[in-house]
């Protein structure tokens, strides 16, 4: 079993899901929480089982090792367009179908779980309506709990938004362990200035970036209020907002974005769409640990540098896969400081990219599993009852036939004939 465990630990998730049908011991091993944790840790350490989700009008999946073809992602409720993936953590994708319809999905195990509905409640006594909504998804490592953060902005009920008046956001956190939402009441004042129309809608930047157990968003500069770029963090452990220090960029005039590489926070500094610098925070929360990673200049192949997102390192850590302008992928060679385009067949014209790792993490709802188990038991019970009824029905028919034969036997008064009929009955031969 030790050798089998070591072999299974090196296999892709799809193979392990199939091998659960081999035997009960294999199924018990693959479903064991310790094995699931070790398999995930090995995948993260060796950079295996990586995939990329392409988010366009529909969702597509691309294997990271090959980067050759984009395959339509088959998921529950995939018939309708507009489903958004707003986060990925340990192989679990967080879906937004509508603002009131959120779900988790593990593409490797095909497990799908809807989150309970939580209404967005405007501030009491105010004439306002819900506006832009920020989302984030990640894991609280200390409690091994998966959480969703939802921040709802409110606007005046007038057709035109009055920018001189701001309402408090409504912030709620969903806990997978508790399967419930909790409202966060301690909110920083600067949260009111977080949304900026073009910044957040152009590249769908309202989705939090997970690094160091903290979800991150960028509050773009508000010149008229004297506010600069700010990295806003929400600690999933303490469930409190924090400000994250930024790198000391030589040029102070830039538009800031955030990303993540192997769990480390990245700062993406865009200088008027002519140059983009990417920094990596080596030690979370320490300003001095910001380290420049790469720099991309606008060239003939790229007329503009509106957007850049770091996705993943290569297995040898010598290259970084980048998404540029929501239209193309490139490998950036860290040593040669050169880029090479990556063409993926079947990919949409414009897209957003999200990296996820294949895992066996369970997200099934225990209540739903109990209901399904109960329904399965009912089906087996009904099937057993049907077999019994069929058996009794067949026996009753034999009884009726025998009764008719006995009645005929009584009428037949010849003793020799009666003996002959008894022999026929015992052999089940019709007279």
Tens place of pLDDT per residue across the chain (431 aa) = 889 999 999 999 999 999 999 999 999 999 999 999 999 999 999 999 999 999 888 899 999 999 999 999 888 866 555 788 999 999 999 999 888 889 999 999 999 999 999 998 888 767 778 888 999 999 999 999 999 999 998 887 765 555 545 678 899 999 999 999 999 999 998 888 888 877 777 666 689 999 999 999 998 877 766 678 889 999 999 999 999 999 988 777 888 999 999 999 999 999 988 999 999 999 999 999 999 999 999 888 788 888 999 999 999 999 999 999 988 999 999 999 999 999 999 988 888 899 999 999 999 876 655 665 576 677 777 777 776 667 666 655 555 555 555 454 444 444 555 555 555 555 555 54
Best CA proximity match to 165, nearest among 128, 217, 133: 128
Contact (CB, 8 A) for 49 and 359: yes
* E strand intervals along 99-143: 101-106, 111-114, 128-140
Best CA proximity match to 169, nearest among 186, 182, 157: 186
- Give the whole-angstrom CA distance, residue 276 versus residue 294: 8
Best CA proximity match to 350, nearest among 323, 330, 312: 323
Beta bridge partners of 88: 93
Q: What is the pTM of this model?
A: 0.82
Phi, psi of 265 (to 5 degrees): -70, 140
Contact (CB, 8 A) for 421 and 407: no
8-26 burial: b if 16+ Cβ within 10 Å, else e: beeeebeebeebbeeeeeb
Beta bridge partners of 329: 323, 342
In degrees, to the nearest 5, what angle opens at C-alpha 339 toward C-alphas 333 and 341? 125
- Give the whole-angstrom CA distance, residue 177 versus residue 352: 30
CATH topology of domain 49-362: Neuraminidase (2.120.10)
How is the chain split into domains, by residue range? 49-362, 373-426
3-state DSSP assignment of residue 388: helix
- Give the whole-angstrom CA distance, residue 95 versus residue 77: 11
Checking DSSP bridges between strand 170-175 and strand 180-184, what pairing results, if any? antiparallel
- Give the whole-angstrom CA distance, residue 346 versus residue 362: 30
**249 Cβ contact partners less than 8 Å away, ≥ 6 residues apart:** 269, 277, 279
């Amino acid at each position: 079993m030790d050798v089998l465990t070591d072999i299974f630990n090196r296999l892709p998730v799809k193979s392990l899901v199939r091998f659960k049908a081999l035997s009960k011991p294999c199924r018990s091993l693959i479903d064991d929480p310790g094995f699931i944790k070790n398999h995930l840790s090995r995948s993260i350490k060796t950079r295996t089982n990586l995939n990329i989700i392409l988010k366009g009008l529909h969702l597509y999946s691309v294997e990271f090792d090959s980067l050759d073809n984009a395959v339509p992602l088959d998921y529950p409720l995939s018939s309708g367009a507009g489903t958004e993936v707003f986060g990925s953590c340990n192989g679990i994708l967080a879906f937004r179908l509508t603002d009131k319809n959120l779900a988790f999905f593990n593409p490797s195990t095909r497990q799908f779980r809807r989150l309970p509905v939580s209404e967005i409640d405007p501030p009491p006594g105010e004439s306002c309506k819900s506006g832009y909504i920020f989302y984030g998804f990640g894991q609280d490592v200390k409690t091994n709990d998966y959480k969703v953060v939802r921040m709802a902005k409110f606007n005046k009920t007038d057709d035109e938004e009055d920018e001189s008046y701001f309402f408090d956001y409504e912030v709620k956190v969903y806990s997978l362990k508790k399967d419930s939402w909790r409202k966060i009441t301690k909110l920083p004042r600067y949260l009111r200035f977080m949304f900026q129309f073009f910044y957040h809608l152009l590249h769908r930047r309202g989705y939090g970036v997970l690094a160091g157990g903290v979800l991150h968003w960028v509050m773009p500069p508000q010149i008229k209020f004297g506010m600069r770029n700010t990295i806003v963090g929400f600690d999933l452990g303490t469930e409190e907002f924090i400000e994250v220090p930024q790198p000391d960029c030589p040029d102070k005039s830039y538009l800031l974005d955030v990303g993540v590489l192997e769990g480390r926070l990245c700062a993406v500094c865009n200088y008027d769409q002519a140059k983009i610098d990417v920094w990596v925070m080596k030690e979370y929360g320490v300003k001095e640990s910001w380290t420049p990673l790469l720099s991309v200049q606008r060239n003939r192949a790229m007329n503009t540098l509106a957007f850049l997102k770091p996705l993943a390192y290569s297995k040898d850590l010598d290259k970084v896969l980048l998404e540029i302008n929501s239209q193309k992928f490139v490998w950036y060679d860290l040593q040669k400081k050169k880029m090479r385009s990556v063409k993926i067949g079947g990919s949409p014209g414009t897209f957003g990219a999200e990296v996820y790792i294949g895992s066996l993490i369970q997200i099934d709802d225990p209540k739903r599993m109990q209901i399904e188990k109960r329904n399965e038991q009912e089906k087996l019970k009904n099937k057993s009852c049907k077999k019994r009824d069929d058996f009794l029905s067949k026996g009753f028919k034999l009884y009726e036939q025998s009764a008719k034969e006995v009645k005929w036997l009584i009428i037949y008064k010849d003793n020799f004939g009666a003996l002959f009929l008894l022999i026929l009955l015992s052999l089940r031969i019709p007279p």
